[in-house]
């Protein structure tokens, strides 16, 4: 491969030479090496930062022209300087607000100072088929930041471990590379600080702060949706870090393309690296999570109780742990034998909440009607103008997806339609979801509203 | 605290420190100036947490004490006072009464304790420079400091102490200015530091033509002690790019230019440099330079300058603003322009160790 790159570089040099003076070529390009070439980008290795800096400032047009001459089309040009990367020179942490200018507090930066919970480590993460990929990707990123998947985008529902994985990455890197600058924050904090910086005319500081990170972890990135200037600022931060070969990890409750009001250039960048989904755990994983948690907390419960909890609480790991805590504290406080009836009584509210997730067709109809601003009666009526028929079809589709009702039952619930109509509606909605992003977004929005 | 002072002295004292005052409102104390009256002096201190300045003025102090007052407001009040005599009195609640002629002002301050102290320098490297030399060096380089916030290491001036020389360097990627100042210091003091733009600007205001400045370099911070005034600043952390790589090693042609005449010509011609390309062209021929600029659909300008030039005929284009900046900063009558070809950087030199590298612009024709 290396030889291949050398040849490409020769070809490129030949195109470049007539454009710059011989002295310039010798001075700036003789030490440059092509280390990576893809269909749309080229990465050059330069001996140190002055090369990148000077070439970018003065010779980038010449280089780009040469690229077009040599390869027929422009490509994105990146530089990697030999002194880059986490292993070597790490930019020191920006001094704090005290005027004293002493740096002692910057050096021994503990995980807690970053707002990372030491309990959220890779060791304490229970891996199941639902989160295998996300876990493996996170571990890979933590072991060699910016080398594997950049950016890493983790998404999944509430309480499925997004934050856990992100914090685990942060702590792993923080531990392995003492002087790496790890930044963990929520997108909300990012936005607030940005607003604050605008307000106080402090953008320089703000930028420096984020653009010096070696590892930037941003939780709940979906909140950037609709915040245009924050998005723009984040876009530039993203590019700076990415071009500087710094790792970026993002989390969200939905995939990038479904975050409402997020600029396309951000969406495409988020999808650039690896997108990993966290799904709700299956019953075995839930059981494993309970046992692990019980073990770390020193709780002893009967297998029967574990199983009861694992089968009854399905959607959310946080809730699962909460239930475990409640059961355990009841057991230790009352000393009573824990039968399933006792547990059931104890967790009445949680279980009810869980049960609510058994969505009824009526709820679906109501929700969809509300969303599309049609009358509930229209869901069952015979009228079929497009503005009513399509919401009705969506409701049928959701009923099919979210309830256990048969096609016939659904048809009955929608004003005595036959099963063929329902089947057609499902197919139609599925197809239109594939074709049109906004429909998919709307449906997933209604879906998540129903599941809440 | 109570003192009497002339309006001029007070104003002069405030002028020295007030530029540093922070404009951000998160910490109200930072928009205040700290006043400390003791003996026959009143000390003034301001800081924005990055840069801090401490100055003083002589006054007839009747009662020692200290307080902090809003700096900008205080300055505008003092400037407008009707009489030359000013009576200044601060009560226990940090309310200052200012009397002058028929005027009376009362302004409310904040307690002294809230004011962040300037840092201490314990294990600092100390060197002494003649104020005139440093001022001269700053003037010749500071205009080339980058304002591009993404390359933060360039948002300051490099102070490189090496081989009994202080080298000052500023660059923004398209030009580079460098000055050497001869200086005696022990080998152990050799260091490269980056002083932020704001500190450089303030320092230029404070330096005079007489006396020495004592520079203390601590870890992450620097102090400039100019007899009566002290300027303290944080340093920019990071490695300054290896600027020597930028400086061309050889020159093919050298032109001697009369600085003032050349500058005036550039200024006139640049009036018609287009906003878009913003370039002027220098066309060299035997014993002559034609300086030209043209903007499509607007017009063009041309000026001829007789010079001693014996090299080949060629044209090179530069950003006029970048060319004029060093010419304005220099005081010499003659400057030398070294050139290689139309695609290589031009270098401006003078008799003393100074160097200005300027990248040419592409000539589109």
- pLDDT tens across the length of chain B (365 residues): 999 999 999 999 999 898 888 766 567 888 899 999 998 999 999 998 889 999 999 999 999 999 999 999 999 999 999 888 999 999 988 999 999 989 999 999 999 988 988 888 777 889 999 999 999 999 999 999 998 877 788 999 999 999 889 999 999 988 999 999 999 888 888 899 999 999 999 999 999 988 999 999 988 899 999 988 999 999 998 888 888 888 888 888 889 999 999 999 999 999 988 776 788 999 999 999 999 998 888 888 999 999 988 888 889 999 999 999 999 999 999 999 999 888 888 999 999 899 999 998 876 64
pLDDT confidence tier of residue A2, bands split at 50, 70 and 90: low
Q: Over 50: is that where the pLDDT of A98 sits?
A: no
Q: Quickly count: other Cβ atoms within 10 Å of residue B27's Cβ.
A: 15
What integer is the mean pLDDT of A231-245?
87
Can you tell me which residue has the tokens 């059981």?
Answer: A287
Residue B238 near chain A (CB below 8 Å) = yes
Q: Over 70: is that where the pLDDT of A92 sits?
A: no
CA B289 from centre of chain: 33
Most confident among A9-23, A143-157, A374-388, B289-303 (mean pLDDT): B289-303
Return the residue of B nearest to A31 by Cα.
Answer: B245
Burial B307-344 (b: 16+ CB within 10 A, else e): bebeeeeeebbbbbebbbbbbebbeeeebebbbbebbb
User: How many whole angstroms separate alpha carbon B101 and alpha carbon A418?
Assistant: 99
pLDDT confidence tier of residue A95, bands split at 50, 70 and 90: very low
Q: Identify the burial level of A73 via C-beta atoms within 10 angstroms of its C-beta, where 0-12 means exposed, 13-18 middle and 19 or more buried.
A: exposed
Q: What is the pLDDT of residues A405-434, one digit of tens each?
A: 888 888 888 888 888 888 899 899 888 888
Q: Over 50: is that where the pLDDT of A305 sits?
A: yes
Contact call for A101 and B116, based on CB within 8 A: no
User: How many whole angstroms separate alpha carbon A80 and alpha carbon A34?
Assistant: 10
Residue B124 near chain A (CB below 8 Å) = no
Maximum Cα interatomic distance, chain B, rounded to a whole number of Å: 78
Report the pLDDT value the prediction gives residue A452, as an integer from 0 to 100.
62
Measured between CA atoms, how close is A121 to chain B, in angstroms? 32
Q: Over 60: is that where the pLDDT of A51 sits?
A: yes
The C-alpha R_g of chain B, in whole angstroms, comes to 25
Measured between CA atoms, how close is B174 to chain A, in angstroms? 6
Measured between CA atoms, how close is A20 to chain B, in angstroms? 6
Q: A-chain residues within 8 Å CB-CB of B49?
A: 97-99
Quick one: which of A312, A384, A375, A371 has its CA closest to A341?
A312
Report the pLDDT value the prediction gives residue B160, as an integer from 0 to 100.
93
Report the pLDDT value the prediction gives residue B355, as an integer from 0 to 100.
93
Q: Is the ipTM of this complex over 0.85?
A: no
Measured between CA atoms, how close is A26 to chain B, in angstroms? 11
Q: Over 80: is that where the pLDDT of A204 sits?
A: yes
Contact call for A200 and B25, based on CB within 8 A: yes
The percentage of residues in chain A with a pLDDT greater than 90, rounded to a whole number, is 4
Q: List, as ranges, residues 130-189 from B with C-beta within 8 Å of A.
A: 149-152, 155, 172-174
Q: Over 60: is that where the pLDDT of A106 sits?
A: no
Q: Which two tokens stand for residue B321?
A: 């603003």
User: How many whole angstroms separate alpha carbon B15 and alpha carbon B218?
Assistant: 27
Which residues touch A338 (CB under 8 Å, ≥6 apart)? A301, A302, A305, A327, A330, A331
Report the pLDDT value the prediction gives residue B92, as an integer from 0 to 100.
87
Q: Which two tokens stand for residue A347?
A: 């967790």
User: How many whole angstroms separate alpha carbon A352 and alpha carbon A318?
Assistant: 16
Q: Which of A57, A61, A99 sits opposite B49 (nearest CB)?
A: A99
């Amino acid at each position: 491969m290396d030889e291949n790159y050398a040849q490409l570089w020769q070809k490129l040099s030949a195109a470049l030479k007539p454009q710059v003076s011989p002295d310039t070529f010798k001075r700036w390009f003789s030490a440059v090496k092509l280390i990576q070439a893809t269909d749309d980008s080229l990465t050059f290795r330069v001996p140190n930062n002055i090369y990148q800096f000077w070439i970018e400032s003065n010779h980038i047009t010449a280089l780009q022209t040469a690229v077009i001459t040599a390869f027929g089309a422009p490509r994105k040009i990146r530089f990697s300087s030999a002194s880059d990367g986490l292993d070597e020179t790490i930019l020191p942490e920006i001094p704090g607000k005290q005027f004293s200018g002493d740096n002692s507090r910057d050096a021994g930066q503990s995980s807690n100072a970053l707002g990372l919970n030491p309990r959220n480590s890779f060791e304490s993460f229970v891996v199941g088929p639902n989160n295998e990929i996300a876990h493996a990707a996170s571990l890979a990123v933590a072991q060699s930041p910016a080398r594997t998947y950049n950016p890493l985008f983790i998404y999944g529902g509430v309480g499925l471990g997004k934050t856990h994985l992100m914090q685990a990455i942060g702590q792993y890197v923080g531990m392995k590379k003492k002087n790496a600058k790890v930044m963990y924050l929520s997108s909300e904090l990012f936005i607030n600080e940005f607003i604050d910086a605008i307000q106080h005319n402090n953008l320089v500081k703000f930028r420096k702060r984020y653009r010096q990170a070696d590892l930037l972890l941003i939780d709940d990135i979906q909140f950037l949706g609709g915040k245009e200037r924050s998005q723009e600022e984040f876009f530039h931060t993203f590019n700076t870090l990415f071009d500087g070969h710094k790792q970026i990890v993002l989390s969200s409750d939905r995939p990038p393309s479904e975050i409402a009001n997020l600029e396309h250039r951000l969406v495409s960048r988020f999808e650039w690296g690896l997108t990993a989904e966290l799904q709700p755990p299956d019953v075995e994983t839930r059981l494993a999570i309970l046992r692990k948690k019980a073990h770390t907390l020193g709780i002893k419960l009967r297998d029967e109780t574990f199983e009861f909890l694992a089968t009854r609480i399905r959607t959310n790991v946080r809730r699962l742990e909460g239930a475990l805590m409640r059961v355990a504290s009841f057991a230790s406080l009352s000393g009573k034998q824990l039968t399933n009836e006792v547990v059931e009584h104890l967790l009445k509210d949680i279980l009810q909440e869980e049960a609510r997730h058994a969505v009824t067709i009526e709820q679906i109809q109501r929700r969809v009607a509300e969303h599309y601003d049609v009358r509930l009666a229209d869901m069952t009526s015979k009228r079929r103008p497009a503005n009513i028929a399509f919401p009705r079809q969506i409701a049928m589709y959701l009923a099919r997806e979210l309830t256990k009702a048969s096609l016939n039952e659904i048809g009955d619930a929608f004003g005595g339609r036959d099963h063929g109509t329902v089947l057609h509606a499902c197919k139609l909605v599925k197809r239109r979801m594939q074709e049109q992003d906004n429909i998919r977004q709307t449906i997933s929005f209604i879906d998540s509203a129903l599941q809440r | 605290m109570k003192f009497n002072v002339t309006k001029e002295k007070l104003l002069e004292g405030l002028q020295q420190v007030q530029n540093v005052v922070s404009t951000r409102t998160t910490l109200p104390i930072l928009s205040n100036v700290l006043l400390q009256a003791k003996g026959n002096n009143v000390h003034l201190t301001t800081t924005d947490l990055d840069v801090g300045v401490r100055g003083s003025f002589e006054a007839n102090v009747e009662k020692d004490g200290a307080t902090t007052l809003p700096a900008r407001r205080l300055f505008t009040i003092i400037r407008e006072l009707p009489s030359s005599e000013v009576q200044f009195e601060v009560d226990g609640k940090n309310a200052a009464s200012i009397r002058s002629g028929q005027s009376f002002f009362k302004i409310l301050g904040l307690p002294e304790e809230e004011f962040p102290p300037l840092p201490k320098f314990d294990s600092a490297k100390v060197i002494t420079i003649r104020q005139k030399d440093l001022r001269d060096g700053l003037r010749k380089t500071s205009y080339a400091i980058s304002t591009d916030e993404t390359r933060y290491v360039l948002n300051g001036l490099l102070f490189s102490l090496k081989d009994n020389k202080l080298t000052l360097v500023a660059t923004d990627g398209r030009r580079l200015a460098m000055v050497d100042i001869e200086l005696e210091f022990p080998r152990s003091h050799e260091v490269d530091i980056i002083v932020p733009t704001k500190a450089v600007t303030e320092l230029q205001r404070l330096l005079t033509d007489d006396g020495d400045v004592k520079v203390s370099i601590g870890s992450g911070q620097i102090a400039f002690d100019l007899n009566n005034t002290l300027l303290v600043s944080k340093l920019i952390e990071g490695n300054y790019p290896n600027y020597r790589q930028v400086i061309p090693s050889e020159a093919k042609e050298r032109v001697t230019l009369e600085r003032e005449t050349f500058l005036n010509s550039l200024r006139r011609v640049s009036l018609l440099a287009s906003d878009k390309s913003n370039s002027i062209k220098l066309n060299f021929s035997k014993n002559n330079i034609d300086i030209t600029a043209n903007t499509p659909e607007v017009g063009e300008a041309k000026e001829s300058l007789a010079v001693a030039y014996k090299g080949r005929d060629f044209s090179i284009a530069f950003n006029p603003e970048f060319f004029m900046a060093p010419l304005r900063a220099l005081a010499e009558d003659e400057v030398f322009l070294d050139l290689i070809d139309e695609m290589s950087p031009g270098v401006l030199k003078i008799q003393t160790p100074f160097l200005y590298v300027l990248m040419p612009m592409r000539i589109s024709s």
